[in-house]
Chain A
Amino acid sequence: MIRLRRRPLEIRETRLAWLLMTPTLALLAVMALGPLVATIWESLFSHDLRLPWLGRTFIGLGNYTEAASDARFRQALAHTVGFTVTTVAIELVLGLLLALMLDALVRFRGLARVLVLLPWALPTVVAALIWRLMFADQAAPAAELLDWVVPGSSRVDWLAGPQSAWVPIVLAEVWKTTPFMALLLLAGLQGIDRTLDDAARLDGASALQRFRHITLPLLRPAIVVALIFRTLDALRVFDLVFVLTGGGPGTSTEVVSMYAFTSLLQNLRFGYGSALSVIVFVIGFSLALGYVRMLEPVREAR
């Protein structure tokens, strides 16, 4: 038997599909994938634009071994991971609360939606500035409010302390991105079949029991998706810290993207900066893969 040839209609459809996709694929190949590969290639060279006479020499993984023993880099990496874990955890809890509330809200739904959408939609730079100014002085509103909760805390110069400077950073990030988390979870909540919940209520299950055993498991896919988006986003944090503390005091709030940026465009160490940004990429990429694995059983169960 001769293998059946593909029908001409199918071939035409494939041809049309590639035709329609070519502009996007070409654009992404030239402006995104190409540059990524080039960055990886560049990271294998010693290339310092401030010292052009040294040229560009191949040093293999030299930049990576330098990064491994670079205390400033390790510190920035720890900051980034700490920032990501802290903010995403807070955002998940707060976002879930907010989503449950928005779901239960009967009146003022539109108003509440606008209120939470605004911080999300504003430029990060603006959010960073607001929170910086709200902590910049003993009489600044957030500092005063915190003093009211924890008496004596207004003596703290929030932005000057290597640890305390993280408070406005984390608050600003939570303020800006919890709404996104809440909206994703709200969409998940609204997609849940209510009959199960109603049946459990009739059987006498408490609100907490129903939440733990019915709502939460059914919400798992939405939670995982929200976690993926937020984690990947938090790992590349840049503008927020750049504007809020500039990485300071000293380098005590510096994150990896900022250190890579500084190495690249201020110190003009292109090889080393490229290596740092490749590391940022690899961490994000492997996390994304891990999350997708987590999502697979959920998919199959559907």
Chain B
Amino acid sequence: MNALIKRVAMTALLVFWALPLCWMVLASLRPESALYATTATATAGFGGNHYRALFAERRFWQPMLNSIVVASSTTLLALVVAVPCAYAMARLQFRGKRALMAVVLAISTFPQVSIVPSLFLILRALGLIDTIPGLVLPYLTFATPLAVWLMAGFFRELPPDLEEAARLDGASRLRAAVEVALPLAAPAVATTAILTFLYAWNEFLFALSFTVSPDRQTVPVAIALLQGRYQVPWGQILAAAVTASVPVAVVVLAFQRRIVKGLTAGAVKG
């Protein structure tokens, strides 16, 4: 009896999460007239027309390309900046450490909209509105704290003996960090990179605020603003949603364990 209840509840929960995804993929392959058709009639006109239209007419590869460039540059830069900082905060002794870490964490909880007006004015003054760097710079405001937080958690867990051994052999503090701690941190860097990339790929408000021309839009903005001349092109929008989800799904499938670990490590240690 208990087992039955458990199984029913589990199925219900999993259906709640799986069904909408399946429906999105199926609906993107149907003609718009059959968007809400029941399964019996749904196979008529099944095909990749929406995808063809999306890439050929809408040039959807442009926002895809923009998103890839923006998300990868953000990830790379955030790591370059954050890893040394995280090491210092986790491993070195200095005054005001706790306060600094609190500030970094507080920044990651900022409502984005509260810095949109000033960032807009700054980027406009620098001539960076509607450019790729004009997105990467704002993205670093949430990517860097995230990366610092995740990497600091990792460095804190690393046993100090190895670095101490290297220092007894005459290596400087910095050299011990670069040659001993950094190679050991490679898996954590990978986890951090994955999470940072996902956050940057999905970001919407900054991309909406700081881009103007369709050629500069990222994927989420392009999807949200996809419009037809006479009616809403639902088929193409669904195809775009599926296309935007594919890289995410691949990352999730390949790195599920890592993602779960990274997500929970940062939070549980608080």
Contact = CB atoms under 8 A, between A and B. Distances in A.
Contacts, number: 260
A16 B92 contact: yes
Given A42-B117, A131-B20, A183 B264 contact: yes
A35 B115 contact: yes
Interface residues of A, number: 90
A184 B263 contact: yes
Contact of A226 (B23, B117, B120, B267): B267
Interface string A138-162: 0111000000000000000000000
Given A225-B270, A243-B224, A13 B173 contact: yes
B13 A17 contact: no
Contact of A33 (B13, B17, B107): B107
A78 to B, nearest CB: 17
A198 B6 CA distance: 21
Given A123-B202, A277-B116, A129 B238 contact: yes
Place the interface of chain B in its size category.
35 or more
Nearest to A278: B114
B111 A264 contact: no
B244 interface: yes
Interface stretch (A57-65, A66-74, A81-89, A106-114): A106-114
B229 interface: no
B20 A175 contact: yes
Contact of A125 (B9, B80, B115, B224): B224
Interface stretch (B47-55, B158-166, B184-192, B252-260): B252-260
A216 B87 CA distance: 35
Interface in B183-216: 198, 201-202, 204-205, 208-209
Given A125-B223, A179-B17, A239-B205, A21 B114 contact: no
Nearest to A143: B36
A16 B174 contact: yes
A12 B167 CA distance: 14
A229 interface: yes
B180 interface: no
Contacts of B204: 123-125, 238-239, 242
B93 A36 contact: no
B144 A222 contact: no
Contact of B173 (A12, A42, A130, A261): A12
Nearest to A174: B16
Nearest to B257: A113
A236 B113 contact: yes
Contacts of B115: 31-32, 35-36, 39, 277
A9 to B, nearest CB: 9
A10 interface: yes
Contact of A264 (B93, B117, B245, B260): B117
B9 A261 contact: no
Interface string A1-44: 00000000010111011101101110110011111101100100
A127 to B, nearest CB: 8
Given A117-B259, A184-B267, A285-B106, A277 B114 contact: yes
A177 to B, nearest CB: 12
B98 to A, nearest CB: 12
A13 B94 contact: yes
Given A20-B88, A31-B119, A113 B256 contact: yes
Contacts of A179: 17
Nearest to B91: A17
Contacts of A199: none
B268 A35 contact: no
A187 interface: yes
Interface in A85-123: 94, 97-98, 101, 104-105, 110, 112-119, 121-123
Contacts of A242: 204, 208, 224
B69 interface: no
A17 B85 CA distance: 8
A97 B54 CA distance: 40
Contacts of A141: 19, 23, 36
Interface string A244-283: 0000000000000100110011000010011001101100
B84 A20 contact: yes
10 contacts: A21-B88, A24-B148, A31-B141, A114-B253, A123-B223, A188-B268, A265-B120, A277-B114, A285-B109, A288-B109
Given A24-B82, A27-B141, A183-B264, 16 more contacts: A10-B93, A16-B173, A21-B88, A36-B114, A101-B6, A114-B253, A115-B14, A126-B223, A129-B237, A191-B268, A225-B268, A232-B109, A274-B117, A284-B109, A285-B106, A288-B106
What are the nearest 10 A-B pairs in CB distance?
A35-B118, A187-B264, A24-B85, A236-B111, A38-B118, A139-B36, A20-B84, A17-B92, A20-B88, A239-B204
